[in-house]
């Protein structure tokens, strides 16, 4: 679950500071930017879409100091459904992670692989971790596996970059091509007025395309350094070489209890898919399923109710920070919307983008979202800030809101393991690899996957996604 706050790792300002400064700047902008509105009409989405060409000036209503000071409370109230959804689902998934089922599953899979199949560790776990991120929104939970994969990679004749990339690419691509991630695609689609988790088929295709490109890149690098260790960017750096197989399997045994937890997970995810497709389930029903998954997993492990409650409470503390980010981010939107300058900003953005071909405008949206993630590295913060602008902007440009959500996902997921304001410093610290080495290794791969994302954006326009 992507909720990490890395302000303590770098010298950049705290994310709260950044968001509150943005609120102040937006408040000042309400005195400078002309107010205006688009007409709205019921579109193919469930929300009112703007009607292109209908922008007109309206009476200005600039923000005052009271608006600035009350925006956190108003933002929290406005985002109440999202906030309480997080307060239930995040601790529920945390209970599952605390059972150790993910550790056991990975260890068992590694132990079963034989020497001749070692290269297939790379695509197998990029896809496995990606699936967990895509559906269960795991992110920081996977960081603990980085030392394990680093050790396994070194023991197989590769280097630490291979090991850390398996985890980093799995979670990054999992978020970029998220299928059922409730914390990014679910909230983005809610803001955009789309049916919850609609368009999943194309997102799965995008996920597979990105994961395949990443796997091929890492496998080629791994094969090259296995043949000639001097080709490694970490050549000369000493590392531990823990064995694989029985040692790992003994440390993280896959028990019958874990197997039953996995069955509960499969049942829960299947129920979510069925309910969304056939019953139109939304946040209220989804929280019930996540709650069941969490409690059932704890009981299967033989935990007493107090232990389940303790894990729940600790996880709720972790998500509180993210909920406050959402409140501040939502406050930004409220300031802009109340002063009637949100539509003006959309109108100004359409002026240069409307002169581009539609495909170029869609690619520009992807670039903008990738850059926004540098300043707002929280996926939840970014979705609340950007989607209220990107959804109507897509309307004005003749691009579907589904494609606008896709641009957000692509811009949010992969760049989190690139930007220093994101998770990159944390990943490097777990792997004990310098950020400079990681950047040198990762930038060509980032460019490759970004090219795949660009093709996927173009494909979305072609098929009318």
Predicted local distance difference test score (pLDDT) of residue 421 = 67
What number is the average pLDDT over the span 331-335? 82
Domain-embedded: residue 100:
yes
Domain-embedded: residue 191:
yes
CA-CA distance, 268 to 346, in Å (whole number)?
39
Domain-embedded: residue 332:
yes
Residue 15: band (very low, low, confident or very high) from pLDDT cuts 50, 70, 90: low
Predicted local distance difference test score (pLDDT) of residue 42 = 61
Token pair listed for 422: 């994101």
Residues 6+ away with beta carbon under 8 Å from 248 = 107, 110, 111, 148, 152, 242
How far from chain centre, in Å, is Cα 173?
9
412 by DSSP, 3-state: which?
A: helix
- Indicate the pairing of strand 48-50 with strand 36-37: unpaired
Residue 305 pLDDT > 70:
yes
Predicted local distance difference test score (pLDDT) of residue 116 = 57
Domain-embedded: residue 458:
no
Residue 238: band (very low, low, confident or very high) from pLDDT cuts 50, 70, 90: low
Domain-embedded: residue 203:
yes
What number is the average pLDDT over the span 282-302? 90
Q: pLDDT tens-digit profile of 100-143?
A: 887 788 777 777 765 556 788 899 999 989 988 888 777 776 77
Least confident piece of the model among 247-261, 328-342, 442-456 = 247-261
Least confident piece of the model among 1-15, 35-49, 53-67, 408-422 = 1-15
CB 424 within 8 A of CB 438: yes
Q: Please, what's the largest Cα pairwise distance for the chain?
A: 72
Residue with tokens 């173009």: 458
Residue 331 pLDDT > 90:
no
CA-CA distance, 405 to 184, in Å (whole number)?
9
Per the structure, how many domains does the chain have? 1
Report the phi/psi class of residue 137: left, alpha or beta, with left for phi > 0 and alpha for psi in -120 to 50.
left
Least confident piece of the model among 74-78, 114-118, 194-198 = 114-118
Helices and strands in the chain, H and E counts: 19, 4
215 vs 244, more confident: 215
CA-CA distance, 97 to 129, in Å (whole number)?
13
Domain-embedded: residue 234:
yes
Domain-embedded: residue 421:
no
CB 21 within 8 A of CB 396: no
Residue 240 pLDDT > 50:
no
Range of the domain at 308: 15-29+63-340
Domain-embedded: residue 127:
yes
């Amino acid at each position: 679950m992507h909720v990490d706050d890395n302000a303590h790792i770098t010298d950049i300002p705290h994310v709260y500071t950044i968001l509150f400064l943005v609120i102040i700047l937006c408040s000042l902008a309400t005195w400078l930017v002309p107010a205006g509105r688009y007409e709205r009409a019921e579109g193919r989405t469930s929300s009112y879409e703007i009607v292109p060409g209908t922008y007109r000036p309206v009476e200005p209503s600039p923000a005052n100091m009271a608006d600035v000071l009350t925006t956190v409370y108003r933002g929290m109230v406005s985002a109440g459904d999202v906030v309480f959804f997080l307060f239930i689902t995040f601790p529920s998934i945390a209970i599952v992670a605390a059972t150790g089922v993910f550790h056991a599953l990975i260890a068992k899979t590694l132990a079963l692989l034989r020497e001749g199949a070692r290269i297939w560790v790379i695509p197998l776990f990029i896809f496995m971790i990606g699936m967990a991120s895509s559906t269960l929104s795991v992110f920081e939970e996977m960081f603990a596996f980085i030392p394990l994969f680093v050790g396994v990679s070194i023991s197989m004749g590769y280097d630490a970059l291979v090991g850390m990339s398996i985890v980093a690419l799995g979670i990054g691509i999992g978020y970029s091509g998220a299928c059922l991630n409730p914390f990014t695609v679910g909230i983005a689609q809610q803001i955009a007025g789309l049916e919850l988790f609609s368009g999943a088929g194309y997102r799965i295709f995008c996920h597979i395309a990105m994961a395949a490109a990443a796997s091929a890149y890492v496998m080629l690098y791994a094969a090259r350094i296995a043949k000639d260790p001097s080709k490694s960017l970490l050549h000369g750096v000493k590392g531990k070489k823990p064995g694989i197989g029985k040692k790992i399997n003994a440390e993280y045994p896959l028990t019958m209890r874990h197997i039953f937890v996995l069955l509960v997970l499969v049942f829960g995810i299947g129920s979510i898919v069925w309910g969304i497709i056939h019953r139109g389930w939304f946040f209220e029903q989804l929280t019930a399923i996540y709650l069941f998954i969490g409690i059932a997993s704890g009981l299967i492990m033989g935990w007493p109710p107090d232990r389940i409650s303790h894990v729940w409470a600790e996880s709720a503390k972790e998500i509180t920070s993210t909920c406050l980010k959402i409140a501040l981010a939502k406050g930004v939107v409220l300031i802009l919307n109340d002063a009637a300058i949100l539509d003006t900003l959309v109108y100004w953005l359409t002026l240069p983008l409307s002169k581009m071909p539609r495909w170029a405008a869609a690619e520009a949206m992807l670039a903008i979202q990738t850059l926004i993630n540098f300043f707002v590295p929280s996926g939840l913060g970014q979705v609340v800030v950007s989607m209220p602008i990107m959804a109507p902007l897509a309307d004005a440009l003749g691009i579907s809101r589904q494609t606008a959500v896709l641009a957000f996902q692509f811009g949010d997921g992969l760049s989190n393991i690139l930007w220093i304001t994101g998770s990159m410093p944390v990943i490097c610290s777990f792997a004990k690899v310098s950020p400079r080495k990681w950047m040198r290794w990762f930038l060509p791969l980032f460019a490759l996957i970004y090219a795949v994302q660009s093709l996927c954006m173009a494909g979305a326009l072609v098929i009318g996604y």
